Amino acid sequence: MRATILAGTVVGLIGVFVAVGLGFLAAGRGRETAAQLDLPDVAPPEMFDPPTPAEMRDLETVAQQEGISLEDAVASYGWRRGFSQLVGKISRQHPDSFAGAAIEQDSSTWIAFKRAIPPNVHALGTEFEREVLKPRASAARIDLVPDRDSSEHELIDQRRPQN
């Protein structure tokens, strides 16, 4: 199963580009550092928020590179930051049962659990589809998968060297 690692989200990449860009700005201005630049305070986007202006510029670039409309790019990619935030929230709420999540190459998504799917996860998934996927005209749906062999934490513990 080929899965897109969620850690490589658009938001993460934007953060890297901003950090690198600020470093170059600081270097070009002499002795000032990025911390000394007067930047506005901007609240991070929430799970159900539409794409930010920076994300929209990225989506315009994707649309141009893939030869698709901006609307198609938003439908295909404009929901992924929110999905990553959804997965983060679920993994924090259910650390003993969360078993992983992915966005597949065909844009199908899944969130898996060691045991039964926690009741609030059904509600969160439905809300995410209604508030994020549907308004962006995305065909993506979230598949909730129960009864995996291990939780994410157990898998991490298994990989740690035994002393």
Q: What is the pLDDT of residues 106-128, one digit of tens each?
A: 888 999 999 999 989 999 999 99
Question: Do 51 and 39 contact (CB within 8 A), yes or no?
Answer: no
What pLDDT score does 148 carry? Answer: 87
**For 80-103, how does the pLDDT look when each residue is reduced to its tens digit (9 = 90+)?**
999 999 999 999 999 999 999 999
Number of structural domains the chain divides into: 1
- How confident is the prediction for the chain on average, in pLDDT? 80
Q: Residue ranges of the chain with pLDDT lower than 50?
A: 1-27
Angstrom distances, CA of residue 113 to CA of 99, 155, 158: 5, 12, 17
What pLDDT score does 89 carry? Answer: 95
What residues make up the domain containing 99? 3-159
What pLDDT score does 19 carry? Answer: 42
Burial grade of 56 (CB within 10 A; 0-12, 13-18, 19 or more)? middle
pTM of the model: 0.70
What pLDDT score does 32 carry? Answer: 54
Residues 6+ apart with CB under 8 A from 67: none
